[in-house]
Amino acid sequence: DAKTTQPPSMDCAEGRAANLPCNHSTISGNEYVYWYRQIHSQGPQYIIHGLKNNETNEMASLIITEDRKSSTLILPHATLRDTAVYYCIVKGDNQGGKLIFGQGTELSVKP
Amino acid sequence: DVKVTQSSRYLVKRTGEKVFLECVQDMDHENMFWYRQDPGLGLRLIYFSYDVKMKEKGDIPEGYSVSREKKERFSLILESASTNQTSMYLCASSLPYGEAFFGQGTRLTVV
C-alpha cells in the first residue's frame, strides 16, 4: 500500500500558486519525499524531492513540516501546461528502495 | 539527455502468446522498474530490479516474469498473454538514490 495520502483532485486558476498537500504520517527517518507528475499519455516526470529541509528548483518548491508527517508542493505560477496528476511518494534511498505510487492528485489549471 | 527507451509504443498480441516488452536505459542506473497503469487504479509496480540478475516482486507480479541479463536492459515477459493484461506498461530507471526516469510507455492490447 502507498504510504501517502493526497486529495483526489484540485483546481487552480492560471497564474496563481498551486499548493498540493500530501500526508505521510508513517515516514521513516531515512525516507525522502519525492514528487512526480504525469501529463496525459506520457510517462511520469520527476519534479523535486527532499528529506527534511525545504527545497526549491526551477519547477517547484517543496515544504516539509518539521515533524515530516506532511508536505506541500508549490507551483508558484500555475499554467495550463501544469494540468496533470501529481504524485507524492516516500522512498528510502537505498539499494532496495522501491518506488510505490499512490492515486495522486489530479490538478486542473483553469484559465 | 537521459533516456529510457521502450521498444514499442503500441502493441497488439493474441491471447496465449508469449510477449516480451523491452526497456533500455543509457544512464548506468542500478535500479529498473516495470509498472502497469490502468484507469482508476494508478501505477502499480509489477517487478523491480536493483542489479543485474537481481529482481524483486512488486505488488502485482502474477502472470509476469522479468529478465535483467545486462545492466542497461530490463525485459518484462508475459508468459501467456491474457485479455486482462491489456494495459499501459511503463518502465523506469534510477540510481539507488535520487529521481527515477520513465519511458514513454507501451500500450499493449491483448485480443
DSSP track, chain A? --S-B--SEEEEETTSPEEEEEE-TT--TTEEEEEEEE-TTS--EEEEEESSS-EE-SS-EEEE-TTSSEEEEEETT--GGG-EEEEEEEEE-STT--------EEEEEE-
For A3-14, the pLDDT digits (tens) are 899 999 999 999
For A95-105, the pLDDT digits (tens) are 566 788 888 99
Residue A29 has pLDDT above 90, yes or no: no
Alpha carbons B42 and B31: distance in angstroms, whole number:
21
Q: What is the pLDDT of residue B29?
A: 92
- Contact: A103, B94; criterion CB under 8 Å: no
Confidence of residue B37 (pLDDT cuts 50, 70, 90): very high
Residue A62 has pLDDT above 70, yes or no: yes
Q: What is the pLDDT of residue A94?
A: 64
Q: What is the mean pLDDT of residues B53-58?
A: 91
Q: What is the pLDDT of residue A2?
A: 56
Q: What is the pLDDT of residue A40?
A: 85
Do you know the residue count of chain A? Answer: 111
**Interchain contact B39–A (C-beta under 8 A):** no
Residues of B in Cβ contact (< 8 Å) with A96:
50, 56
Q: What is the mean pLDDT of residues B14-28?
A: 96
**Interchain contact A46–B (C-beta under 8 A):** yes
Confidence of residue B11 (pLDDT cuts 50, 70, 90): very high
Alpha carbons B7 and B90: distance in angstroms, whole number:
11
CA-based nearest residue in chain B for residue A105: B42
**Interchain contact A34–B (C-beta under 8 A):** yes
Confidence of residue B80 (pLDDT cuts 50, 70, 90): very high
Confidence of residue B98 (pLDDT cuts 50, 70, 90): confident
**Interchain contact A101–B (C-beta under 8 A):** yes
Residue type, B86: T
Q: What is the pLDDT of residue B2?
A: 66
Q: What is the mean pLDDT of residues B22-30?
A: 95
Q: What is the mean pLDDT of residues B86-92?
A: 97
Alpha carbons A55 and B69: distance in angstroms, whole number:
37
Please say whether the beta carbons of B90 and A44 come within 8 A. Answer: yes
Residues of A in Cβ contact (< 8 Å) with B56:
96, 98
Residue B42 has pLDDT above 90, yes or no: no
Residue B59 has pLDDT above 70, yes or no: yes
Q: What is the pLDDT of residue A95?
A: 56
Residue B54 has pLDDT above 80, yes or no: yes
Residue type, B33: F
Q: Nine-digit cell at B53?
A: 540478475
Q: What is the pLDDT of residue B40?
A: 84
